[in-house]
Amino acid sequence: MTPARTLWLDERSRVLTLDQTRLPFEQVTIELDSLASCRYAISAMQVRGAPLIGAVGAYGLAFGLRHDASDEALQHDFEDLLASRPTAVNLRWALQRVADRVRPLPSTARAAAAWHEAGAICEEDVACNRAIGSHLATLLRAQAQRRDGARTGALDVLTHCNAGRLATIAYGTALAPFYLLDEIGFPVHVWVDETRPRNQGASLTAWELGQAGVAHTVIADNAGGLLMMQGRVDAVIVGCDRVAANGDVANKVGTYLKALAARAHGIPFYVACPSSTIDRSSADAAAIEIEARDARELSHVRGRLADGSSAEVQVIPDGSAAFNPAFDLTPAALVTALVTEHGPIPATSAAIAALFAEH
Ligand code: MRU
């Protein structure tokens, strides 16, 4: 099945998306109608996931140019939107792409060109994700053949955070193979890490897999090691927010520990990686800024009460300090392959350089 789009235009060309802070219990559609609303949606995580914040940033720049299309305003709006979240490089990539497209144009033509470019970024995202999903599906089917005889039944794949359709325009990256395998009736079951502190796994990945009818089970973040030790994980697939020129990967905090456990147990660890997420200006992991988010995300948890209303409760004692880095860094050596829209490549400087030389 083709998952529904996460960002779409209605018949009046309004830009609509789901407010992801309200999922999984409420499906609330919000309109993005200005640069300020795009910037707010990104920073408040109404939209999140590297490709989706890139697309929303692109529309934000287009809205800004409708208001003022001068060079100065373009630069100001670019920096304003870029500051909304620092780690995922797709935001900078998309803003740069729109800015490069409109800068040579007269100011009267800039807003329309930016709007068109934002639309193109969205369309390309769907095709890119479908290609990544198809490459990952091929890898998973090969994995299933290798284990047949040793163990039968659905292939068990563990994922962390949400790199699904909610993190992109459609399909997602790490979750794309599950939708494609589902289309052909290939049995797969997904272990979904809850992904504290914001629970993107428990609330978003579980929701979208459930909507699509893909078999899945939510597990506590720390259960993955045991399941790998027990032979109950055939592969790990995660997304990424930025991949450095040497193949080091920044992704949701907790990814690194899964990569270590996967390596210890000889389990393939795949990173679903649109080429737009590769940042060749970051030489290695040390160059990647890790977003530190509000400690309240850690000290408090939001959920649904028995009467159906939602509430936030405190889970750490008054007075305890809390530190909340939103991402972590996985060394390239722990990555089995970066699975790009052009196919899987080793997580090495040479393979990344070759990818950009070819495409
Ligand atoms: O903080 P988030 O929810 O934006 O983090 C999302 C992730 O870490 C995803 O794995 C990543 O952006 C890849 S999305 C295809």
Domain with residue 102: its CATH number is 1.20.120.420
For residue 119, report the distance from its CA to the centre of ligand 1, in Å: 21
Closest atom of ligand 1 to 167 CA is 14
Torsion angle in degrees (nearest 10) through CA of 202, 208, 210, 211: 150
- Asked if 112 and 138 sit in the same domain, the reply is no
Give the residue from 168, 164, 61 showing the smallest Cα distance to 116: 61
Is residue 270 domain-shared with residue 302, that is, in the same domain?
Answer: yes
User: Is 270 inside any structural domain?
Assistant: yes
Protein residue with its CA nearest to atom 8 in ligand 1: 252
Tracing tokens 């970066």 back to the chain, one arrives at: 338
Q: Could you tell me if 208 and 62 lie in one domain?
A: no
| Of the residues 123, 158, 182, the one at which a domain ends | 123
Q: Is the pLDDT of residue 2 over 90?
A: no
CA of 32 to the centre of ligand 1 (A): 20
**Total-model pTM:** 0.97
Range of the domain at 75: 7-123
Claim to verify: residue 83 and residue 155 sit in the same structural domain: no
Is 167's pLDDT higher than 60? yes
Ligand 1 geometric centre to CA of 87 (Å)? 10
- Look at residue 148 in the predicted model and tell me its pLDDT: 66
- Mean pLDDT for the chain overall: 96
Pocket test for ligand 1, best of 162, 175, 237, 255 (most atoms within 8 A of CB): 162
pLDDT at 264 over 60: yes
Tell me the chain's radius of gyration from C-alpha atoms.
Answer: 20
Among 105, 123, 141, the domain-final residue is: 123
Please state, in angstroms and rounded to a whole number, the distance separating the CA atoms of residues 358 and 33.
38
Q: Is there a domain that residue 2 lies in? A: no
Cα separation, 256 vs 247, in Å, equals 14
Among 123, 144, 163, the domain-final residue is 123
* Ligand 1 centroid, distance to 190 Cα (angstroms): 17
Domain tally, the chain: 2
**Predicted local confidence at residue 68, as pLDDT:** 98
SS3 209: helix
Using CB distances shorter than 6 Å, the residues near ligand 1 are 48-51, 88, 161, 163, 167-168, 172-173, 200, 239-241, 251-252, 326
Provide the pLDDT for residue 3: 58
- Residues acting as catalytic residues: 241
**Buried-exposed string 328-353: b where 16+ CB fall within 10 A, e elsewhere:** bbbbbebbbbbbbbeebbebbbebbe
Q: Ligand 1 centre and the CA of 40: distance in Å?
A: 17
The number of the ligand 1 atom at minimal distance from the alpha carbon of 238 is 10
Same domain (yes/no): 149, 31: no
Please check whether residue 32 lies inside any domain of the structure.
Answer: yes
Report which DSSP code applies to 13.
Answer: -
Bin 37: left if φ > 0, else alpha if -120 < ψ < 50, else beta: alpha
Whether residue 231 is contained in a domain is answered as yes
Residue 344: pLDDT band with limits 50, 70, 90: very high
> Are 154 and 295 found together in one domain?
yes
C-alpha span between 346 and 335 (Å, rounded): 8
Give the residue from 226, 160, 170, 157 showing the smallest Cα distance to 194.
Answer: 160
In a domain, 273, yes or no: yes
pLDDT score for 334: 98
**Which atom of ligand 1 is the closest one to the Cα of 174?**
15
Percent helix, strand, coil in the chain, to 5, is 45, 20, 35
Closest by alpha carbon to 299, among 321, 268, 279? 321
Task: Please choose, from the candidates 286, 287, 284, 251, the residue with its C-alpha nearest in 3D space to the C-alpha of residue 270.
Answer: 251
In this structure, is residue 1 part of a structural domain? no
Residue 190 sits in the same domain as residue 305:
yes
Same domain flag for 235 and 112 = no
200-255 residue pLDDT tens: 999 999 999 999 999 999 999 999 999 999 999 999 999 999 999 999 999 999 99
For residues 165 and 223, membership in a common domain is answered with: yes
Q: Are residues 18 and 150 in the same domain?
A: no
- Does some domain include residue 331? yes
CATH number at residue 276: 3.40.50.10470
Angle CA(167)–CA(281)–CA(269) in degrees, nearest 5? 50
Q: Which of 85, 199, 251, 291 to mutate to test the pocket of ligand 1 (most atoms within 8 A of CB)?
A: 251
Both 321 and 342 in a single domain?
yes
Counting from 1 in the atom list of ligand 1, the atom nearest the Cα of 90 is 12
Co-location of 220 and 268 in the same domain: yes
**What tens digit of pLDDT does each residue of 107-152 get?**
999 999 999 999 999 999 999 999 999 999 999 999 998 886 667 7
160 within domain boundaries: yes
For residue 272, give Cα distances in angstroms to 35, 70, 276, 277, 314: 29, 38, 12, 10, 34
Residues 269-282 pLDDT 10s: 999 999 999 999 99
- Ligand 1 pocket mutation, candidates 92, 193, 241, criterion most atoms within 8 A of CB: 241
For residue range 184-212, list pLDDT tens digits in order. 999 999 999 999 999 999 999 999 999 99
Residue 10 corresponds to which tokens in the numbers above? 């209605």
